[in-house]
A and B are shown apart, each in its own frame.
Chain A
Amino acid sequence: MRKKILYKEWIKTRWVLGIVVLSAILLHWYVFSKIGRALTSVGAEHIWDVIVNRNVFMFSEFLYFPILSAIIFSLFQFIPEMLQKRLKLTLHLPLKERTIILWILGYGVISLFAIFLVQWIAFIYSMHIHFPNEILISSLITLAPAYLSGFVVYFMVVAIAVEPSWKMRIVLSLIGIGMVRVFFLSNFPESYRYLLPYLPLVAFIAILFSVLSIFRFKTGVQN
């Protein structure tokens, strides 16, 4: 049964998964060919100087990828369920509700996590060629909040999409915007260094909101 749930999610999302992976590859190629051009035209020393002494973050194109991919992915996973009213049916499968939700949400999170992880490995590999560890670590600390926000967005979009009441959807949207805003308060490199360990807590709260919506949907709350 669990395998079948996963297979159903895969059928629904394989196309969008492909698009997200392809855009990740294109984004990586674009950013690093831009950096490569800069390194040859103005010299590596100047680029290092700009990053280290003028606090310029040269990889800002990566900052909005997690949010966009999370929105697209969660919409493709849940909108067909909502439009064709299949989710209620799924929740009545001969499995514990909690297990079903865990597998559906788990599929989404693990898919996003896998894409982000591969993207980070490629980023670390490419950075390692041109930049010292200090710049690499600083860049990863700067990117980390944006990638964590991807998970918050995923759970909040799920919460809003599944939520049966329009009023509650508005409240959840406003709360979601507020929660995601916390991840994008500054472009200054490494500015989240101290807050970063606590940001997963925001993602955890977002999980609770998506679970709340699914339960409300199952019990058929209406306004």
Chain B
Amino acid sequence: MKKITYLLIFVSTLLLSWLLPWAYSLNKSKRINYPFVIYSSINHSFYYPLSKDSKRTYLDAKGKEYTENEFHKSLPLFYYRQLVKDDCLPDSINGIAVSPKLIYTTNFYFRYRPSYKYSPKIKLYTLFESMSRKVDLEMPGDMFRFTDKIEFINPKTNKVKVEKSNLFMNAFNKRGFVPPAKMVNGNSNLKKPYDQGYFIVDSKNQIFHLKMVNGKPFVKNTNISTSINPKYISVTEFPNKKTYAFLFSEDNHLYAISTNNYQLIKIPTPSFSPKKDELFIFGNMFYWNVKVTSKTGMKAYAIETKTFQKVDSISFPNPNLTQKSYFKELAFPFTLSFKSKNYNYIKPHIEWGNKLFLIISFLLSGIYLLLYRKKINRYNWIPITLWITLTGIYGFLSIWIIYSLKIKL
């Protein structure tokens, strides 16, 4: 029976280590809004708006303040629509004639969050017709799976389209594909401007490009070095058609797969881990703004579009690192949680608090020994004191509940 008593204490301690920090954090906003920085193609400096006490100021990297209109004029490639409305869009920037259409087609936005990769995914894919004569893309009438071989399935009948599957698999075999497919990356969203197909990694780390052109397979070995070892590939489908995809390598580097014969271009980024950090890129005809948001803060690079060389950088530290919640760190020796913004899986995760929690734990152990000196015996005081010391407030509350309710165990 005593063993069940310990089980009761163990389970309630675990539940408290999950629910107490959760309840504490309910009224604490965790979201940190870093300023939206953009590198000015005109003034060659980072600019950002800053909101404080419902007042919005517009600053550059040196802290100089601007009016809203000056701010828009400094970032014409981002605020071009506003400038067109105000009749302020310059005819040329850095000696190059610009128009709203040119800016629209050369601008692109790319966002990566760890949850994009670390999420459950049903391994079925839609391959659109890449040379569609229609304005909008259309559903192709099948979905494909790809492990040892590619198989197109007709949703109407739930049967494999044998002829189409064989046609596409033969195209892969001809290009030297070695099954199984380790990774199939593409964009199944129907509402995209055009289709760039899929990038498929085989068992030998070779990367193949798959498209459907006029109903026929287009399969090409990209000949990207097998030593790259891709961790994640995101097909871009930007209006400028300069890149096929972004590739995250195993050693946490970012590459762009260029539409110029699948040339791999290494993109300089602040230190970045696809497992934990967010990446955002706003690119225009002169500069790419590459931003990485991590636990330590946000760091942005300005990269020249032509040379892919870093020209400037700016960083904002995480304000929570300087304004620590000592109450939480000391009161909660550890925090059990099941969810994370970095993945869509339910997984137990323990976050350790400050080691100084031991002071509180010893204090709680002392209170326990003092309060319940009559109830404890020579057999149980050692494990219970040890448990309170290790688990702090959680263990103490569990034991306190049992004693204070006078539950006979």
Contacts and interface: CB of A to CB of B under 8 A. Distances in A.
A178 B145 contact: no
Interface in B1-18: 1, 4, 7-8, 11-12, 15, 18
A47 B190 CA distance: 14
A200 interface: no
A177 B174 CA distance: 58
B407 A167 contact: yes
Contact of B346 (A43, A192, A212): A192
Contacts of A114: none
B155 A44 contact: yes
A223 B406 contact: yes
B344 A208 contact: no
Contact of A188 (B155, B344, B347): B344
Nearest to B142: A45
A201 to B, nearest CB: 11
Contact of A185 (B122, B153, B339): B339
Contact of A130 (B7, B143, B158, B401): B158
Interface stretch (A61-69, A70-78, A98-106, A132-140): A132-140
Nearest to A211: B4
Interface residues of A, number: 46
Contacts of B158: 44, 129-132
Contacts of B123: 134
Interface residues of B, number: 40
A119 to B, nearest CB: 22
Interface of A is mostly: helix
A208 B124 contact: no
Contacts of A55: 119
Given A138-B122, A186-B339, A221-B408, A215 B145 contact: no
Contact of A134 (B15, B124, B345, B401): B124
Interface in B380-408: 401-402, 405-408
A130 B12 CA distance: 44
B120 A53 contact: no
7 contacts: A44-B158, A52-B126, A135-B124, A168-B407, A178-B18, A179-B15, A205-B7
Interface of A: 43-49, 51-53, 55, 129-132, 134-135, 138, 141, 165, 167-168, 170-171, 175, 178-179, 182, 185-186, 188-195, 205, 208-209, 211-212, 215, 221, 223
